Amino acid sequence: MNFLNQFRERNQLIKEWIYEAAETIKKSFDAELEIQQKTNRNDLVTNMDKAIEKHFIEKIHHFFPGERILGEEGFGDAVHSLDGVVWIIDPIDGTLNFIKQQDDFAIMVAVYENGKGQLGFIYDVMQDKFYAAQVGEGAYCNGNRLSPIKDTPLKEGLVAISSALMSEKTGLARAVGRTSSGVRLIGSAGIETVHVASGRLVAYLAASLAPWDIAAGKVIAEEVGLVYTKLNGNKIDLLQKNPSLVATPTAHKEIIDLLNSNGKSYM
Ligand code: 2AM
Ligand code: CA
């Protein structure tokens, strides 16, 4: 079975599953959410995060039996290697926004093969913006191809910085903010990444992103010419959490230099 030949079928199915998931999420606004705390009071999970992850897992098991799934809520497989085809899923990215604002959250699905991103999907549910990318074929928003990004330097662009990184002690991330034209915060790694991919921002930096926060956005970002690495410039490891940076090539270099100056270095 040739994975490459299946792109069109996969793309279509994934799109259908994501729109179905979005309908389920929007309908849930009228019902009471069940909210549980994970690692801390700002790291929450709801019955919807769990239901949506299960929805994707059932579909993948049905249509692509045997393929492994790495999902945020843990209903997939214990994935310790990226060999073969691995699905990486965040059922709701920006769960705090979903709970507190019912806005600015995304559904994210990626397909990797032997560690390389093949397909990436981010659906900004409330803006109804569906971002999709296939390796080597460009990135699209609602069917319109995204232009290759302009290589804007840091001082001429807006940046998004995660709140954890903004409040970090050394102040190096705040220096990045000061060097830029201004800081904009949303609180959804997926939405912030697609805003870099569509040219609204020149960079997005976060202290600690999980594989499912990164996987789909990385495929989309790289298709438009952005650079996506750890905060020290090293390669992203999709089996771990990563301090993360996605930026235009010029802003990427400037931010790495700022963050790793004075002998300080970000993992
Ligand atoms: P999540 O909503 O899927 O958990 C918020 O700045 C962004 O960081 C969101 O994309 C959020 O994803 C992600 N994030 C990663 N780890 C987190 C954590 N431990 N607590 C809160 N948000 C986290
Ligand atoms: Ca999530």
Hey, where are the domains in the chain? 4-145, 154-259
Provide the sign of the torsion angle of the four alpha carbons 244, 248, 252, 258, taken in this order. negative
Identify whether the C-beta of residue 76 lies closer than 8 Å to the C-beta of residue 57: yes
**Is the predicted pLDDT of residue 262 greater than 80, yes or no?**
no
Token pair, residue 240, equals 């771990």
As for ligand 1, residues whose beta carbon falls within 6 Å of it are 39, 42-43, 72, 90, 93-95, 162-163, 187-189, 206, 208-210, 213
**Is this structure's pTM higher than 0.75?**
yes
Using the predicted structure, report yes or no on whether residue 224 has a pLDDT greater than 70. yes
Please give the mean pLDDT across all residues of the chain: 95
Quick: pLDDT tens for 228-242. 999 999 999 999 999
Give 1's pLDDT tier (boundaries 50, 70, 90). Answer: very low
What's the N-to-C CA distance of the chain in angstroms? 39
Using CA positions, which residue lies closest to atom 11 of ligand 1? Answer: 94
154-259 matches 4-145 in CATH topology: no
Q: What mean pLDDT do residues 152-165 have? A: 97
Quick check: 5 pLDDT over 90?
Answer: no
DSSP code for 157: S
Measured distance CA(193)–CA(184) in Å, rounded: 12
Q: Are 243 and 266 a contacting pair, CB within 8 Å?
A: yes
Closest ligand (CA of 214): 1
Instruction: List the one residue out of 191, 230, 194 whose CA is nearest residue 209.
Output: 230
Rounded CA-CA distance 237/41 in Å is 26
188 Cα to the center of ligand 2, angstroms = 9
Tell the residue nearest (CA) to atom 23 of ligand 1.
43
- Distance, in Å, from the CA atom of 71 to the CA atom of 216, rounded to the nearest integer, reads 12
The structural architecture, per CATH, of the domain 154-259 is: 3-Layer(aba) Sandwich (3.40)
Closest approach atom of ligand 1 to CA 162: 6
Q: List the residue whose alpha carbon is closest to atom 3 of ligand 1.
A: 93
Asked if residues 179 and 147 have their Cβ atoms less than 8 Å apart, the reply is no
pLDDT value at residue 6: 72
Q: How many angstroms is it from 96 CA to the middle of ligand 2?
A: 9
Neighbours of 184 (CB within 10 A): 16
Is pLDDT at 56 greater than 80 in this prediction? yes
Q: Which residue's CA is the closest to the ligand 1 atom numbered 9?
A: 188
Which residue's C-alpha comes closest to atom 8 of ligand 1? 189
The answer to whether the CB of 76 falls within 8 A of the CB of 89 is: yes
pLDDT band for position 24 (cuts 50, 70, 90): very high
Closest residue CA from atom 2 of ligand 1: 94
What is the rounded distance in angstroms from the CA atom of residue 74 to the CA atom of residue 99? 20
CA distances from 213 to 6, 81, 114, 126, 145 (A): 25, 18, 19, 18, 23
CATH number of 4-145: 3.30.540.10
Task: Report the side by side order of strands in the sheet with 144-145.
Answer: 68-71, 85-93, 106-113, 116-124, 129-134, 139-141, 144-145
For residue 265, name the pLDDT band (cuts at 50, 70, 90): low
Closest ligand 1 atom to Cα of 96: 2
Atom of ligand 1 lying closest to residue 90 CA: 3
